[in-house]
Structure 1
Amino acid sequence: MQKNDLVTVQIEDMGTGGEGIGKVDGCALFIKDAIIGDLVEAKIMKMKKNYGYARLMNILTPSPARQNARCREARRCGGCQIQEMDYRQQLAFKKDKVENNLLRLGGVPREILESAMEGIIGMDEPFRYRNKAQYPVGRDREGRLTAGFYAGRTHQIIPVPDMDCALGAEDNQAVLEKILAFMEEYSISPYDEEAHAGLVRHVLIRKGFTTGELMVCLVINGESIPHSDVLAKRLSQIPGMTSITCSINREKTNVIMGNEIRTIWGQSYITDYIGPVKFHISPLSFFQVNPVQTEKLYGAALEFAGLTGKETVWDLYCGIGTISLFLAREAGQVYGVEIVPQAIEDAKNNAAANGIENARFHVGKAEEVLPDLYEKEGIRADVIVVDPPRKGCEQAVLETMVKMQPERIVYVSCDPATLARDVKYLRESGYEIKRVKAVDMFPHTVHVETVCCLHRVNS
């Protein structure tokens, strides 16, 4: 096969980015927008030795799982890689993804995994679930102000007036319309990243799904927003508006938020709940974007921890204390560790706001904090909970966890591949998988969260 060849491909699997995968003459082809079960005609775009990339040209026979996307810009946007796949099939695909990674990369024996693996937790209504959205602001080809999302792998903005994101809160549209109208009226320019000129870079919108509170934060390439009192008056008329701020970001960077936040109107934060636990959420706070599924995810972690009220629990990568405060309701003592100082401040404030006194939080690297407190204060761990970033646990963290010899390790993962890698290490170090449950936190995308419980099997 060569570039520009047309081939017929039966799609049998899907890649990590949501591409359909099929084989032609023993060579795997990755085809964007194709799903499992499709028979497609595709055009070869790039070939390597054993695999290649092709562009979907025609769907010759659609998969039984194929459906019309609710959003007409789903393919161009790229944020929902599998919105054209029936939701039940999405769940089956994600559960298989977790299983296959644990089998192939983690080396977990099939009989052990079959005993441990439980059903995936999906959503009753898999749309409108995101409580946070970040919109770049710019100009379209005709020079008109626009805000929306970047098209996949580009910095071309797909404007929101043409695309009411099916995953975001319905309030977002009204917020953006008021901001763009204000910018037009007062000749406030959007940011141009090539020229490093212009003022408004992004608009961050967060919503408390339980409280109904709304936050708007404008990320700006400057010190202030002209006529911000007018903007605040207009935005404050939107029901639920609680916090209007700006984030100062004058750097030449792809990082969206700046570190300095200035309040324009109202509070500097909003509040929301996960289950019975209340959280203060600032523009810079990490907070799970799907609160409905987060409660189920953390509920599974709490169940897997098997707490009786006497255990000492360590929560590594604790962030603003979301899992820690869930655990503290049923643990004897919880210790949270996080390297980001502001997150620990938020965690302490959240504990105080909920009247939780059996949770202590420490700033630092887990591999340094744990041994220090263990050796100096004799604090041990009955249960360790980890919720690391996508790259998984640092090797030193895994080594420290094994040295602490907790009875149970509860691993909350956002990447089945790094989960499998870390499970392999833990299984080789005296632990065995007992329970695994996948949770669909991001319907219509290829991402899946997993909760895995390992028990110590040697003394």
Structure 2
Amino acid sequence: MQKNEVVKVKIEDIGVGGEGIGKVDGYTLFIKDTIIGDVVEAKVMKAKKNYGYARLMNVLTPSKDRVEEVVCPMARKCGGCQIQEMKYPAQLAFKESKVRGNLERIGEVPGELLDEIMHPVVGMDEEGMQPFRYRNKAQFPIGTDKDGRVTVGFYAGRTHSIIGNTDCVLGVEVNEEILNCILDFMEEFEIPAYDEVKHKGLVRHVLLRYGFKTDEIMVCLVINGKTIPHCHDLVGRLRQIPGMTSITLSSNTAKTNVIMGDTIRLLWGQEFITDYIGEIKYQISPLSFYQVNPVQTEKLYGLALDYAGLTGNETVWDLYCGIGTISLFLAKKAKQVYGVEIVPQAIDDARNNAKINDITNAEFYVGKAEEVLPEYYKEYEKTHNGETAHADVIVVDPPRKGCEESLLQTIVDMQPEKVVYVSCDSATLARDVKFLRAKGYELKDVTPVDQFPHTVHVETVCLLSRK
């Protein structure tokens, strides 16, 4: 296979990144924007010895699972929605298959066991329609287009080139009004956008949050400096938008890909918005980790709570607890909950969220879960005459990299009856499940939950019980 060769390919499979996979005379090609069942014409862009990457030129025969027309005209250019071309039931089937495949291949969980314990993926209830407008948070980079005008949108896949778009169909509709207001202000007062190559310019990103139950809106501008000229004019305009609750500045003057700065300065309103998951009220600040799909989050946490099987007598540890979202759910049914999170502001939020919900049986610790729990375990042994620290249930909701082995070993040493693992990456989940199964824990239940329609990402909740 040669670079620039144009070939006809039938797509037989789909990769973890959502790219279609087909073969030409036994040679494997990965082709973005294609789905299983498509017959396509593609141009080879990169040819390696056994596989290559090709660009979709034409869909010759569309798959039965291909939508007639994608809702977002930017879907192919933008890196955000990898599988918007796919009908929603097919997206769910792909995600379920992805979780199962990783558990079998990486986790070495027998297929017969998964036949018994794996439940169907929990999708969004859209009565056959494609689910959109589900995100309560969006971060938009701001830059300059080729004509020198300020632009806002999203990065094209695997690049830092901005695809101009003020109306992402995954976000709430009011985002467009807010972004246009900011763009108009920047043009009128000649406020420069940040240039990450030259490390010059002022406005880097706009963070938007929306409370689905409260209709409260947050705007946080991330800037390469301390303040924005004519800031009061911008605040005056944004305040006119119904629901506006919080307008803040985050200063980030570092030459970095990290979006948010460490400090938040209030421009108007309050430093947080409020929202609910179930009956629990949360205050969310610009730096808070808070699940982006509140409808599905309620289902996700409901499953975690069901798997924990609490009776009111349990001691529970919630590791990577963020602002206490799962902890406070658990505290309603447990005797005592301990939450651990590395971000100090998140722990401040967690403590505050416990207070505003009148929850007194939840304590929170700042630190790395992989350091706090082993330290607690050792200290407990010292101060309790060699008695071992114990937890009835341990809940983990780690970042994509999963749990460190030292943490998993401490979990095993504490001998909880149940481990509830909430994962945003089924590959690292599978790796950690393999470790726990080898240490005497049995995989009892697995349920994928679709938090992110039109993307390749999927959350999974697992229950492991001590044999």
The equivalences for 1:64-213 within 5 A come to 64-67=64-67, 68-125=69-126, 126-161=131-166, 164-213=167-216
**Deviation digits for residues 378-425 of structure 1, max 9, x if unmatched?**
641011110011011111111111111111111001111111111111
Distance (whole Å) between structure 2 residues aligned to residue 189 and residue 45 of structure 1: 36
1:395 partner amino acid: E
* Other structure's SS at 2:77 match: helix
Distance (whole Å) between structure 2 residues aligned to residue 110 and residue 187 of structure 1: 61
* Other structure's SS at 1:313 match: strand
Aligned equivalent of 1:6: 6
Unaligned runs of 5+ in 1: none
Establish whether residue 396 from structure 1 lines up as the match of residue 406 from structure 2. yes
The equivalences for 1:179-328 within 5 A come to 179-328=182-331
Distance (whole Å) between structure 2 residues aligned to residue 203 and residue 366 of structure 1: 30
Using the TM superposition, name which of 242-251 and 18-27 deviates more: 18-27
- Whether contact under 8 Å (2:389, 2:414) holds in the other structure is no
Aligned equivalent of 2:456: 446
2:370 partner amino acid: E
2:97 partner amino acid: D
| Paired positions, count | 455
CA RMSD in angstroms comes to 1.2
1:54 is displaced (CA, Å) by 1.1
The equivalences for 1:409-448 within 5 A come to 409-448=419-458
- Whether contact under 8 Å (1:113, 1:433) holds in the other structure is no
1:333 is displaced (CA, Å) by 0.7
- Whether contact under 8 Å (2:444, 2:464) holds in the other structure is yes
* Other structure's SS at 2:72 match: coil
- The normalised TM-score by structure 1 is 0.97
**Deviation digits for residues 44-69 of structure 1, max 9, x if unmatched?**
22122222111112211110000121
1:32 is displaced (CA, Å) by 0.6
1:380 to 366, 377, 390: 390
1:306 is displaced (CA, Å) by 0.7
1:146 partner amino acid: T
Unaligned runs of 5+ in 2: none
**Deviation digits for residues 287-331 of structure 1, max 9, x if unmatched?**
111111111101100001111111111111111111111111111
Distance (whole Å) between structure 2 residues aligned to residue 33 and residue 187 of structure 1: 38
* Other structure's SS at 1:225 match: coil
- The normalised TM-score by structure 2 is 0.95
State the percentage of identical aligned residues.
Answer: 69
**Deviation digits for residues 161-220 of structure 1, max 9, x if unmatched?**
5xx211001010110111111112212111122222111111111101111000001111
Distance (whole Å) between structure 1 residues aligned to residue 433 and residue 49 of structure 2: 32
Distance (whole Å) between structure 1 residues aligned to residue 159 and residue 97 of structure 2: 31
Aligned equivalent of 1:362: 365
Aligned equivalent of 2:26: 26
1:340 is displaced (CA, Å) by 2.0
